[in-house]
Amino acid sequence: MEERENGALRKLTAALIGCGGMGATHNLALKALSEEMGVEMIAIADCRQECLEKGAEIWPGVHKYETGMELLEKETPDIVHICLPSYLHADHAVRAMKKGCHVFIEKPVCLSREEGELLLKTQKETGVKVMVGQVVRSFAEYRYLKEVYEKQTYGKLKSLVMQRLSRKAAWGFENWFMDEKKSGSVVLDLHIHDLDFLRYMIGEPDSFTVKATAFETGLINQVIVDYRFGDVFAVAEGLWDVSTTMAFEPSFRACFEEATVVYNGTKEPALVVYGKDGTVVSPKLEKDDQMRDAVSGINLSDLGPYYTEIRYFLECLRSGKEMRRAPLEEGVKSVLLGLEELEAAREYVKGR
Ligand SMILES: NC(=O)c1ccc[n+]([C@@H]2O[C@H](COP(=O)([O-])OP(=O)(O)OC[C@H]3O[C@@H](n4cnc5c(N)ncnc54)[C@H](O)[C@@H]3O)[C@@H](O)[C@H]2O)c1
């Protein structure tokens, strides 16, 4: 991508499709990065008028569309962010890629093997860059875990227990989270964060077993997956609670030979290392989201790792460097593992 025009950073034009919960976060992150990364939002789409208007407020003159497909018909931005309900990801991403746009797609990147294959084929044909919103790869605490695992700072990893607990996901457009065909259940929607991170850090599991529960409707709402990676084991739980009030709680506990690293997103400090020698330390992590952006006035710490991942995406486009953190093929591989786990979860629930 050409860097400069008459000495100035060439503008990257962007479009945002879907301005619900996640779209609003992408929108603010792009605004916060607009000066530094030279991004300009030229079009946004949402079929809910109030979301569309709210999303457009921060971009005077932005073109507004009711549907993502209409936007893609009329506009050809450099990049498209897809923050639609998951069942709409693949169609829109394929359309955007065929127009030559680089694409950022929220997770799960798709909901079936066929969609995954189509996405990969289209990317190969078009040569565009595609990043997936597997945002845990951009969390400072999880990056720390990956680093100490790779450097063996505390010796070898022996076990890893991860949890991602949420209230019932009842907030989506037309209640799409509660329909397995649209969300892929708690497995592909929530637990995919942890299974993706496990793959990112350790690699593909040798084997796994699944236990699960379901809501009265039959939709899988809790999954506990027991993985084996050589001589390391990991357990990851994803839960959509029956209540709509339980606080969101992501956590992990990694037992190394010389220390145990504990993270809990609801606690302060969230990350603590308990050493075998009796030390208790809360590592100071480098975060690029801790200040207020002077230009946009947006509090970047509210955006957290979403800011970090989008900044990385833009940096890769600007510099031409390989997109390694969460490229399309990685997003697809995580969906494929998630689909196997979902199948096992269904079998488990059927056999109870
Ligand atoms: N990375 C994360 O941590 C994270 C967190 C939450 C959600 N997500 C993902 O982000 C995606 C969106 O989730 P959400 O929570 O924002 O859902 P949401 O229901 O709040 O928002 C989706 C938006 O899309 C709009 N929409 C639906 N069909 C449309 C169409 N054809 N054209 C234009 N707009 C349309 C809806 O009006 C809605 O505003 C999902 O894939 C979800 O899994 C990721």
Distance 21 CA to ligand 1 centre (A): 6
* Least confident range of 6-10, 118-122, 259-263, 327-331: 6-10
Residue position matching structure tokens 């450097």: 151
Mind listing the pLDDT tens digit for each residue in 297-316? 677 777 889 999 999 999 99
Structure tokens at 61: 């003159």
For residue 283, what pLDDT band results from cuts at 50, 70 and 90?
very high
**Residues 6+ positions from 166 with CB-CB distance below 8 Å:** 190, 239, 240, 241, 246, 248, 249
Pocket of ligand 1 contains residue 200 by CB under 6 Å: no
- The alpha carbon of residue 26 and the mean position of all alpha carbons in its chain are separated, in whole angstroms, by 11
Note the pLDDT of residue 24: 96
Which of residues 289 and 103 earns the better pLDDT score?
103
Q: What is the mean pLDDT of the chain?
A: 95
For position 302, what pLDDT does the model report? 74
| Residue 296: pLDDT band with limits 50, 70, 90 | low
Q: CB-based burial of residue 112 (10 Å sphere; 0-12 exposed, 13-18 middle, 19+ buried)?
A: middle
What separation in angstroms does the CA of 251 have from each of 104, 163, 207, 226?
A: 26, 5, 23, 16
pLDDT, tens digit, for every residue of 202-258? Answer: 999 999 999 999 999 999 999 999 999 999 999 999 999 999 999 999 999 999 999
The region, left, alpha or beta by phi > 0 then psi within -120 to 50, assigned to residue 213 is beta
Local structure of residue 285 (DSSP, 8 states): P
Q: Hey, whose CA ends up nearest to atom 7 of ligand 1?
A: 22
Q: Which domains does the chain have, with CATH numbers?
A: 4-134+293-326 (3.40.50.720), 137-286+335-350 (3.30.360.10)
Confidence at residue 286, expressed as pLDDT on a 0 to 100 scale: 79
pLDDT at position 150: 98
Query: Order of strands across the sheet with 220-229?
Result: 207-214, 220-229, 232-240, 157-166, 249-256, 259-264, 271-275, 280-281
Ligand 1 centroid distance, CA of 176 (Å):
9
Ligand 1 neighbour 331 (Cβ under 6 A): no
The pair of three-digit structure tokens given for residue 229, joined into one six-digit string? 């990676």
